[in-house]
Amino acid sequence: MDGAMRIVLVGLALLVLGVPPPALAGEGEGNAQEVSLPSTLVTEGALPATELEVTFTVSKSSGGREYGLNLSSIQYAPVPSFGIKLAVPFAVRDPSDSEPTVGGFGDVGLMAKYAPLMLPARQFALSGGLTLTVPTGSERRDLGGQLAVSPFLAAGKGFGPFSLQADAFYSWQLDQPRRDEEWGSSISPPG
């Protein structure tokens, strides 16, 4: 286990250990209090939500520049403890060498999230779920092309207007990467 994964697991453990005995989501629905955690910029939030996210990213390296305009997610939560999410990425890759600029849709992701532990009095939530990545992007143009499944856990603890949220996931690629096939022919002079 690498250092970054240890830090994430220790952080999740500290969040979980800092709360009283668990109460199931939906218990005490009669009271108007709820877990309220601000939206996150990078990590997967601990609570299912109904929202629309759009992001623009720019990255630059020795290999070139990459721009991304992503419909980061369309999320729908019919109840406070369950939600589904659709992510549709669009990327433009501009290599620094003589290769042409390419653009297109990447791999689409579909996520289901369930939060069985929500503690309004402690402003704490723990959720888990599964993300399915569908190979809709062009593998040939390095825009995706992988079928993958990723289970995850997310936890969040509110501190007034701020929150501490963390997520941990593991991804399995279900399809084998396409091998580059070489085709060719040769003609030998008679001799």
Give pLDDT tens digits for 20-29: 444 444 444 4
Sequence ranges of the domains in the chain: 47-173
E-assigned strand segments in 35-187:
51-61, 64-79, 82-95, 102-105, 108-119, 124-134, 148-159, 162-169, 172-173
- For residue 132, which amino acid is it? L
User: Pick the residue with more confidence: 24 or 113?
Assistant: 113
Residue 13, Cβ density class (10 Å: 0-12 exposed, 13-18 middle, ≥19 buried): exposed
CB 28 within 8 Å of CB 116 = no
* pLDDT, tens digit (0-9, with 9 covering 90-100), for 134-164: 999 888 887 888 899 999 999 999 888 888 9
User: Pick the residue with more confidence: 108 or 40?
Assistant: 108
pLDDT for res 79 = 93
- Residue position matching structure tokens 């503690």: 119
Round the CA-based radius of gyration of the chain to a whole number and report it. 22
